[in-house]
Each structure stands twice: as structure tokens, then as C-alpha cells.
């Protein structure tokens, strides 16, 4: 298990290094590159050539495209030197944890995690998104696990984003738990790293210790990104402590736990498929890792 954790951290370091290199690149081509989404769902990517009151001309790999402006739903400005045929369709989230980047107004996506987890998030404004979801099996059994996931964020400087949010969870017996968090992201849609700090809570109290998450993504081809998500949390472990007089007492001793998900994201213009492995300091040799699968579709 130590080897698996070591390899997870090596993978994260590689993403960190590539994110820094990509953010510092200064391409010589200064023609703006944009992604245009039409009202009918079509998406075009290319260099902006000309814009009038009624039409937008972009130069794609298939030649010049003349787009009627009244049929355009949204325009997204891409980083200089952008070399792919489409923008990453799910840049505001890694496998599970969010980045500090925000959805635009009207932008949204559906996400499925491990088959039974279902989530929808929508940009209410360029800085505020609201989301929610449910767990399928508990819903079928008549006592659903429900999720509410609001987030607010903004870009504070080039390649730097900050956000704060809450994940509120309704578990069986109508009991509520959750986590409030702050996130700090460096990078862009194609390559980024995020540090998040969260405080779990229940209806009655807050947890004794915060949770830390360090996540990263790096696009390595038109349809593949490397993804790494890493959590460090602390729980109280009940242990017997020997006193100086020879007596013993049971005390709560802080115990750090590592949990990570490492894998890839396979992408198209509107869809992304996540495939990975879950590793933890709590797993033993008989259970070195667990599989992870996820899916998201942009709308």
C-alpha cells in the first residue's frame, strides 16, 4: 500500500510540474482562439477572424466558418496556443472534488459517480452555481440519500481562482451531515491543480479536524487527461494509554488517513468518462485498491 501511495504522489507531482509549464508558456500566435456553442447544440472551435453585427467568422481546421450571431448560445475564449479540437467539457470538477473554477451562467452538466451517484450542477451566474443529486439504491429502497452542492467563486488573477461551497447530505432517518470548504486553483481548463480545505459537520457539531484535498488534471492529448485526487483526513482512534503509575486509560488519539483516486479522463466535446483506482492508507495487501468509474455530460 505504501508503494501505491508513493506512485499516487509521483503522478500528482507530474501534473503539478506540467501545469506550471503550461501556464508559463508564451505562444507566438496571438490570434484569439474561441469555442462557439450554437443554440442547436453544435460546437465549433477555431481562430477568430472577423466579427460584425450579424455574423462571426472563425478559422477552423476545416476552413473558414461563417456563423450567424443570433444562433450563437455562448462564446468561450480559449488559452493562446490552444491545440485541441474542443475545450475540456468538465473543468470545474476532478473525479469527485470541485476545482475553484466556476460554471458560466446557463452552463451545466450531469455527473454519475460509481453508477449509483447522480448529480446535476448549473451556473446561476458566472460566479454562483447550484447543484444537487441523489443516490440511486437508497432512493429505490424508499429512504434516499440526497445532496445539495452550492458553490461561489471568481478568478482573482490570470490562472488563479478561488471558491467556497458546501456539500449538504441528507442521509437515512432524515439526518443531515456535510462539509463546508474553500478551494484555490492554479491553471486553466486543460491543466490545473487545486488545494481545498474543508470542515465536516453534522446537525449537532463540527468535526475535530479539517480535511485537506490536493487535486490535479493535465490534458495529454485531444481526448485524454491525467487526473489525480488526494485527501488527507484525521480521525480519533480509541487507544489504551499507559499512565506513569502503571494504570491505563482509553483516550482518543489522532490518526491521519490518506485516500486517493488516480486515473484518466476520456473526453469528447460534451462527454467525459473517468476511469481510475481508489487507494488508501487503510487498505491492506488483500485489498490494494478499488475501481472507480464516472461519467459527465455537459449541457
Number of domains the chain is built from: 2
Q: Are 19 and 52 within one domain?
A: no
Range of the domain at 244: 2-25+89-298
What are the distances in angstroms from CA 192 to CA 93, 185, 186, 215? 11, 7, 6, 8
* Per-residue pLDDT tens digits for 161-190: 999 999 999 998 889 999 999 999 999 999
SS3 260: strand
**Statement to judge: residues 38 and 97 lie in one domain:** no
- Separation between Cα atoms, residue 200 and residue 213, nearest integer Å: 13
CATH code, 57: 2.30.30.100
Question: Is residue 83, in this structure, part of any structural domain at all?
Answer: no
> How far is 261 from 264, CA to CA, in rounded Å?
10
Q: Which of 179, 178, 187, 183 is nearest to 164 (CA)?
A: 183
What residues contact 41, with CB distance under 8 A and at least 6 apart?
A: 270
How much is the pTM?
0.81
Question: Is the backbone of residue 140 left (phi > 0), alpha (psi -120 to 50) or beta?
Answer: alpha
Task: Centre a 10 Å sphere on the Cβ of residue 181 and count the other Cβ atoms it contains.
Answer: 21
Does residue 84 form part of some domain? no
pLDDT 10s digits, 184-219: 999 999 999 999 999 999 999 999 999 999 999 999
Q: Are 39 and 72 in contact (CB under 8 A)?
A: yes
**In-domain check, residue 107:** yes
CATH of the domain at 210: 2.40.160.40
Amino acid at each position: 500500500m505504501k508503494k501505491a501511495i508513493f506512485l499516487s504522489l509521483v503522478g500528482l507531482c507530474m501534473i503539478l510540474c506540467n501545469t506550471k509549464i503550461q501556464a508559463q508558456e508564451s505562444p507566438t500566435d496571438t490570434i484569439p482562439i474561441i469555442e462557439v456553442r450554437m443554440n442547436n447544440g453544435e460546437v465549433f472551435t477555431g481562430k477568430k477572424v472577423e466579427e460584425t453585427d450579424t455574423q462571426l467568422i472563425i478559422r477552423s481546421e476545416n476552413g473558414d466558418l461563417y456563423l450567424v450571431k443570433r444562433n450563437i448560445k455562448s462564446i468561450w475564449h480559449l488559452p493562446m496556443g490552444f491545440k485541441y479540437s474542443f475545450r475540456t467539457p468538465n473543468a470545474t470538477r476532478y473525479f469527485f472534488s470541485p476545482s475553484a473554477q466556476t460554471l458560466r451562467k446557463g452552463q451545466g452538466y450531469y455527473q454519475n459517480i460509481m453508477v449509483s451517484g447522480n448529480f446535476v450542477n448549473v451556473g446561476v451566474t458566472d460566479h454562483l452555481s447550484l447543484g444537487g443529486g441523489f443516490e440511486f439504491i437508497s432512493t429505490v429502497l424508499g429512504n434516499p440519500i440526497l445532496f445539495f452542492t452550492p458553490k461561489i467563486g471568481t478568478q482573482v488573477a490570470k490562472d488563479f481562482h478561488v471558491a467556497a461551497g458546501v456539500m449538504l447530505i441528507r442521509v437515512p432517518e432524515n439526518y443531515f451531515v456535510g462539509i463546508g470548504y474553500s478551494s484555490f486553483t492554479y491553471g486553466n481548463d486543460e491543466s490545473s491543480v487545486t488545494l481545498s480545505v474543508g470542515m465536516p459537520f453534522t446537525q449537532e457539531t463540527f468535526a475535530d479536524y479539517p480535511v485537506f484535498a490536493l487535486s490535479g488534471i493535465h490534458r495529454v492529448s485531444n481526448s485524454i487527461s491525467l487526473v489525480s485526487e488526494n485527501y488527507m483526513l484525521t480521525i480519533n482512534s480509541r487507544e489504551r494509554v499507559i499512565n506513569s503509575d502503571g494504570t491505563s486509560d482509553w483516550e482518543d488519539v489522532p490518526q491521519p488517513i490518506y485516500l486517493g483516486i488516480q486515473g484518466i479522463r476520456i473526453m469528447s466535446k460534451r462527454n467525459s468518462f473517468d476511469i481510475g483506482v481508489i487507494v488508501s492508507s487503510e487498505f491492506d495487501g488483500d485489498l490494494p485498491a478499488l475501481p472507480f468509474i464516472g461519467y459527465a455530460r455537459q449541457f
